[in-house]
A and B are shown apart, each in its own frame.
Chain A
Amino acid sequence: MNEAVKTTNAEAGAQPILEIENLSISFFTRAGEIPAVMDFSCTVMPGEAMGIVGESGCGKSTVSLGVMRDLSNVGKIVGGRIKFQGRDMGEMSEQELRSVRGNKIAMIYQEPMASLNPAMKVGKQLMEVPLLHEKVSRAEAYNRSVEMLRAVRLPDPERMMRSYPHQLSGGQQQRIVIAMALLSNPALLLLDEPTTALDVTVEAGIVELVKDLGKRFGTSMIFVSHNLGLILETCDRITVMYSGEAVETGTVKDVFDRMRHPYTQGLFRSIPLPGADKNSRPLVAIPGQLPLPHERPRGCNFGPRCHHFVKGLCDADEIPMIPVKGHEAHFSRCVRFNEIDWTALPEGATKATEPVKPGAPVLKVDDLRKYYRVAANEVFGGGEDRVVKANETISFEARESETVAIVGESGCGKSTLAKVLLGLETASAGSVKLANTPIESTPVEERDVKTVSSIQMVFQNPFDTLNPSHTVGAQIERTLEKFHVGNSPADRHKKMLELLDLVKLPRPFASRKPRQLSGGQKQRIGVARAFAGNAKVVVADEPVSALDVSVQAAVTELLMDIQRENKTTMLFISHDLSVVRYIADRVIVMYLGYIVEQGTTDQIFAPPYHPYTEALLSAIPIADTSVVKKHIVLEGDIPSAMNPPTGCPFQTRCNYKHLVPDDLCETQVPPHRDLGDGHRSLCWLTDDVLAAMEPVISFDRKHAEEEGEPEDVPYHAERTSAAGDPGFAGPPPERPHGKLSSAEADEAEFEAEEAEEAMRARREEHRDDVGGQQAGRRESRRNAAVPITSDRVGSGRQAVDPGAPSAFDERRAPSRRARAAVGAARSAPPADRDRPPPMRRPKQPDDLKLISGVGPRIEAALNDLGIYRFEQIAAWKKAERQWVDARLKFGGRMERHDWVTQAKALAKGGEAEYFRVFGRKPR
């Protein structure tokens, strides 16, 4: 059977594995026919990975089920065709379909536990596949299964074969499901949100596996996900769906960097990509909400939410997929994409706010511990009690109007910490002080009203946060009553309506039941409830993670606006470091009950990292084509809190363990080491190893340069001839907002004058953009450090931000010794013959920081190269300058600031001479 499949593949050559033509699927319910998918087309070639992305209810899963012809009894394909390997699936008999399903087309679902039969051993379930589809012998089936388990990198496959699904962790289960899908050697693999139920670091492992297997077995894939970052990591082409329709399809590169549909752009603008900043570059949410399937507007479905909507044009008629000329296989369902200025930000999206000044500490947690005793037998006692250490030695502080993020994966103790703070649990040891009142051992029933109302919570799941039996208004009023706000029911009713205004919901919503509200609206009510009693501290437990991408941004902004106004301290619990980087002032990273690292956002996102933080950073999928991530995949799963490892909690998965002598990691819990400025890390690693760590996330400059002038974009001259054709893509779009710029916008010590210089450079750039389309071409002349786009451009990745946290920066090269220690692969350095002659460290090295553009870090980097004196820099020739610039990845700042001239002056006559030449003092 396998052979047969292979030969057909080979003969078919360029024949697509799957062709979907104008597929329409409807569900027939009590309310009549509800179209779930309309006019959906896509083609998947052999070995290709197609990503389908969209928000909940957009029909992406229905498409994958439609391909399997596995719609429930109410679903029906009402139009279009699905051709699998050239054969129309609609014409196949039920028997033929059965032989295709699970054999040539395999599907992997979201919940691994739900895909495995809990009553059967894993081995038996795996062996079923070849036994059923290929009628091989049992021994053969067994061997193949073991082989496949090895291929999905599961340890000890023989033992796995003998286990029941519940004995395995979520990540292992999903690997087994993948193995099962691949056992039949399918031509097409459908993955429906395969990693959504898993933790981030586990997800990273699965994604890597899927990518790798796709290459190894040449399987075509359809990858359904709501996460743009995942699609970028796994797919070649992408289809964006909105409200039952594909709105844009093309190669990942085209859609990510040169999107031609306003919805796609809106999506990108509402996710926190590197470069977004809550103060200077806030996220831009898509207004409104997804239309209900039976209330879709005429014409463009996205019309009511679109900034570019034109009456009479967009709602005139149903819009087909229009090819984007000049882009290969790039289609958009937008009639105006040629007229839209893809670089302009929507009205009111450019607001910038002052960064808040944190005030006095409001919440102090000192050496907090929370242990649970798990009794062996509840009724009769007896047996030995076991202790689960949910929180260990937790110490931190949160100040007024500050946002402190608590980051960690499931089971790290972040929710327990929240429970202790709110009084749902009491601490086993240590102290918690809320505005100098100790609250660690007062359960919430015994707290006075003031304490209760001053620490409140926003919950994670919008579908759970409101009681479905009471109206929204009644629930808020009850909260007000409990907090002694208002004297009479009428008073409270008035206050409740004001709270609705505060969270930007219409007042009539007060009489609605929660089920009449969308997820985002429910979460707003949750926010209103938390702020009802003028809370001093609000604990937000993943408040947006369950919401759709386009709504997330709006709720995040709302939360921050209210926080800013009320000067509330927010504890933001999350597993998503992108959001954390965007929203938080300080970050606490937790693992298995311990705080493994804490510090300001800049400190956490820049090396030195705690090894776990590093892995976590690397695991987040980032939807930005120019981001290059250091690839760190952790082995295994998070240990159970019931049975934690000895010594360092992270030692079972740590990649750096071999660098610590004497098995310290395995025997002793490391100390909280202070790395300066309150940056604390729970790690045994020595300073030089830490110093050698590289940034996990950096920007691929080469890619960005290409982006500046894509080869496949028609030149300017052609543009006039094709101007009237909506299929023409127009000029090469501006590089979406300065991905590069943060390579330049840099370390914390970036100075005002530097910023001024950068601005000047950008203004220059802007003129170039306006002047002609040659900007990108001239890029080679210019140093790549300058953002290729003008700073008014925004695709949501608004990164022209000097304060952008520096994890995303490129940074000094590590010293050689340290590099050898880490043993990480690096790109080859430029030819060493241009290297400026080093010298030994003199007794009194010059203060290189006097040169504008050199901070303490850069000075240290220069010292590493053996450069200690102004004379050395003053003597540099162009080649040497370029070498240093490239080596240290300054992105041209050396030229801009003209270090050589400065150094010459300083070498000649010190500060006095500098003042004479430049008319100002060195800093």
Chain B
Amino acid sequence: MGHLHFLTWPEIILHVIAFRLWPVWLSLAIVMGLSYRYKKRLGLYGQLYDTGIGVVGIFILGFWFFCAVFSHYVSPFNPLGQIAVMRNALPGAIEPQSGHAYLFGGDRLARDVFSRMIDGSRIVLLIAPLATLVALTVGVTLGLPAGYFGRKTDSVLSFLANLVLAFPVILLFYLLVSPEIVQTGLPRITAGVFFAFPVILGALAFWTRYSGRPVLLAIQLAIVLIITYWLYSTFVFYTDPLHLIEVTPSTLNIFVAVVFASSPGVFRIVRGLVMDIKTRDYVAAAQTRGENPWYIMIWEVLPNARGPLIVDACLRIGYTTILLGTLGFFGLGMPPESPDWGTSIKDGSELLRIYIHPALPPAIALMSFVLGLNLLADALREQSLKD
């Protein structure tokens, strides 16, 4: 390895911050600057800028978001590309052919750690929020009636939720990725069931509110149908008509597993919130004017449960991220080449006693992203309490 040239530590820092990450800084500056300028008009999001914690949270999340968006410009190398000479190269080693540096060094398969870290954010930022969103709709759609109607509905649904929560999660993941199960098509069927919930929720919301205005209702239901079509064709049938996202069977497995594991939690929170909110007078007022129960649940109760739900969603994205890392670490789901943070940590850990640098950047990335989410959740909670 003696023939490699190295950048000094200050040079590495300069390269990372100035030459590679500048699009991220620029976008962050624009977004946060504008937000700060107009924070008074931005509601809850604007209020986050009043607290230090909120600003730090937004900064960290914004950083990773723009890293994911600009990953092609930020990462100097193909995250899967192996340049043999760079095997286990130390940070700052300059790749002789392109003249670019492996800023955080190379891993045991001679891939650029920095590029893998940046590209890994794409996977995390795609799966974690989306899976959380779907888990949220599943939890909401089931939690609303459980809390609102109570009695038998509640008993049955709560029992199911407890059942899922009681099932060992890791075992569930092993089952989901084992080829025999995949061949039965169970993950796809489950995904199909999960995606039905946002559709049901959307359709119910528009139908209960606008049934008196058929034209408007027709337009809205059409939009719901189009989104449904896209969701199913992309996730269940792996053919995105718009070619925006490429979903592989392994991604879907992860997706299903994560939704399955976290929706009972959302269900419980929603159920509790609904039980509290349904005792309010405005719910009684809606009842006394003869509203459909689903109208009351979706339009009267749900908007007032949004505060705790948003906070919970933030934290839940964090858990999901950690879960993704854990899955990657166990080698479940993602293909072994995948640059996601969990897999990268696993790869790096194998030589941990000799080289620490391949494992450290993805670990720090994972930690900082979850920390950002937690800080944001804290700030949101604090601000929503003040209001």
Interface residues of A (CB under 8 A from B): 30, 378-379, 422-424, 444-445, 447, 449, 452-453, 456-457, 459-461, 464-470, 479, 481-483, 489, 515, 526, 529, 533
Give the CA-CA distance A456 to B151 in the complex, in Å.
Answer: 27
Residues of chain A within 8 A of B300, CB atoms compared: 467
Q: Other CB < 8 Å A-B pairs besides A452-B290, A464-B280, 16 of them?
A: A378-B155, A379-B159, A422-B287, A424-B288, A444-B287, A452-B288, A453-B289, A456-B289, A459-B281, A459-B285, A460-B281, A467-B303, A469-B303, A479-B289, A483-B289, A515-B387
Residues of chain A within 8 A of B287, CB atoms compared: 422, 424, 444
Which of B151, B284, B386 has a CB less than 8 Å from the CB of A424? B284
A379-B155, A467-B303 known; A457 vs B280 contact (CB < 8 Å): no
Give the CA-CA distance A470 to B286 in the complex, in Å.
Answer: 13
Would you call B50 an interface residue if the criterion is a C-beta within 8 Å of the partner chain's C-beta atoms?
yes
Give the CA-CA distance A669 to B151 in the complex, in Å.
Answer: 34
A423-B288, A449-B290 known; A465 vs B282 contact (CB < 8 Å): yes
Q: Which of B263-313 contact A (CB under 8 A)?
A: 280-282, 284-293, 299-300, 303-304, 306
Q: Do B285 and A465 have beta carbons less than 8 Å apart? A: yes
Give the CA-CA distance A424 to B280 in the complex, in Å.
Answer: 14
B282 to A: closest C-beta gap in Å: 4
Residues of chain A within 8 A of B213, CB atoms compared: 489
Q: Do B304 and A482 have beta carbons less than 8 Å apart? A: no
B325-366 interface bits toward A, Cβ cutoff 8 Å, 1 = contact, 0 = none = 000000000000000000000000000000000000000000
Residues of chain A within 8 A of B282, CB atoms compared: 464-467
Q: Which of B113-139 contact A (CB under 8 A)?
A: none
Give the CA-CA distance A449 to B281 in the complex, in Å.
Answer: 21
| 5 A-B residue pairs with CB within 8 Å | A378-B155, A424-B284, A424-B288, A467-B286, A470-B299
CB within 8 Å: A-B pair count: 64
Would you call B99 an interface residue if the criterion is a C-beta within 8 Å of the partner chain's C-beta atoms?
no
Residues of chain B within 8 A of A453, CB atoms compared: 289
B324 to A: closest C-beta gap in Å: 33
Which of A459, A468, A489 has a CB less than 8 Å from the CB of B304? A468
Give the CA-CA distance A461 to B281 in the complex, in Å.
Answer: 7
Residues of chain A within 8 A of B293, CB atoms compared: 445
Of all chain A residues, which has the CB nearest B283?
A467
Residues of chain A within 8 A of B280, CB atoms compared: 464
Residues of chain B within 8 A of A378, CB atoms compared: 151, 154-155
Q: Do A529 and B284 have beta carbons less than 8 Å apart? A: no
A493 to B: closest C-beta gap in Å: 14
A417 to B: closest C-beta gap in Å: 14
A467-B303, A481-B212 known; A457 vs B288 contact (CB < 8 Å): yes
Q: Do A457 and B304 have beta carbons less than 8 Å apart? A: no
Which of B281, B285, B289, B290 gathers most chain A CB within 10 Å?
A: B289
Residues of chain B within 8 A of A467, CB atoms compared: 282, 286, 300, 303-304
Q: Do B212 and A30 have beta carbons less than 8 Å apart? A: no
Q: Do B281 and A444 have beta carbons less than 8 Å apart? A: no
Residues of chain A within 8 A of B306, CB atoms compared: 469
A371 to B: closest C-beta gap in Å: 17
Residues of chain A within 8 A of B290, CB atoms compared: 444-445, 447, 449, 452, 482
A843 to B: closest C-beta gap in Å: 62
Which of B155, B159, B281, B304 has a CB less than 8 Å from the CB of A469? B304
Which of A379, A453, A461, A489 gathers most chain B CB within 10 Å?
A: A379
Residues of chain A within 8 A of B281, CB atoms compared: 459-461, 464-465
Of all chain A residues, which has the CB nearest B210?
A481
Of all chain B residues, which has the CB nearest A533?
B289
Give the CA-CA distance A482 to B291 in the complex, in Å.
Answer: 8
B211-222 interface bits toward A, Cβ cutoff 8 Å, 1 = contact, 0 = none = 011000000000
Q: Do A452 and B289 have beta carbons less than 8 Å apart? A: yes
Which of A445, A467, A469 gathers most chain B CB within 10 Å?
A: A467
Residues of chain A within 8 A of B289, CB atoms compared: 452-453, 456, 479, 482-483, 533
Give the CA-CA distance A469 to B290 in the complex, in Å.
Answer: 20
Give the CA-CA distance A444 to B297 in the complex, in Å.
Answer: 16
Give the CA-CA distance A320 to B280 in the complex, in Å.
Answer: 44
Q: Which of B92-114 contact A (CB under 8 A)?
A: none
Give the CA-CA distance A444 to B290 in the complex, in Å.
Answer: 6
Of all chain B residues, which has the CB nearest A447?
B290
Give the CA-CA distance A872 to B30 in the complex, in Å.
Answer: 103
Residues of chain B within 8 A of A456, CB atoms compared: 288-289
Residues of chain A within 8 A of B159, CB atoms compared: 379
Residues of chain A within 8 A of B292, CB atoms compared: 445
Residues of chain B within 8 A of A459, CB atoms compared: 281, 284-285
